[in-house]
Amino acid sequence: MQAPGDYFFNTHKIGPDCRQHMMDKEHFPVMRAAPFIWLGYSELYPPYRMVRTASVHSHIVVSLGGVGRAVIDGELVDWQPGQVLLAPVGAHHAFEVADDGAWSIAWVFYDDEVSAPVLSGRNTRLVQADGNDFASVLRMLLKESSGAASQPVMSAMVSLLDVCARRLASGDDVDARIQRMWGRVEADLARQWGVSDMARIACMSEEHLRRLCKKYYQRSPVEHLTHLRMRRAATMLRATQELVDDIARSVGYASMYSFSVAFSRWGGVPPSVFRLRGS
Question: Measured between alpha carbons, how far is 265 from 48 in angstroms, rounded to an integer?
Answer: 39
Question: Measured between alpha carbons, how far is 59 from 30 in angstroms, rounded to an integer?
Answer: 20
| H-helix or E-strand spanning residue 14 | strand 11-14
CB count in 10 Å sphere of residue 40: 17
Nearest to 51 by CA among 104, 110, 7, 91: 7
Question: Measured between alpha carbons, how far is 50 from 38 in angstroms, rounded to an integer?
Answer: 15
3-state SS, residue 242: coil
* pLDDT single digits (tens) 88-98: 888 888 899 98
Task: Give the pLDDT of residue 227.
Answer: 87
Least confident of 16-20, 175-179, 237-241, 266-270: 175-179
**Most confident of the ranges 134-138, 148-152, 213-217:** 134-138
Structural domains in the chain, CATH included, are: 5-170 (2.60.120.10), 176-278 (1.10.10.60)
* pLDDT single digits (tens) 34-87: 788 899 999 999 889 898 888 888 899 999 999 899 988 888 888 989 899 998
Whether the per-residue pLDDT at 237 is higher than 80: the answer is: yes
What average pLDDT does the structure give for the chain? 86
Task: Give the pLDDT of residue 262.
Answer: 94
Task: Give the pLDDT of residue 143.
Answer: 93
Given a contact cutoff of 8 angstroms between Cβ atoms, the answer to whether 8 and 82 are in contact is: no
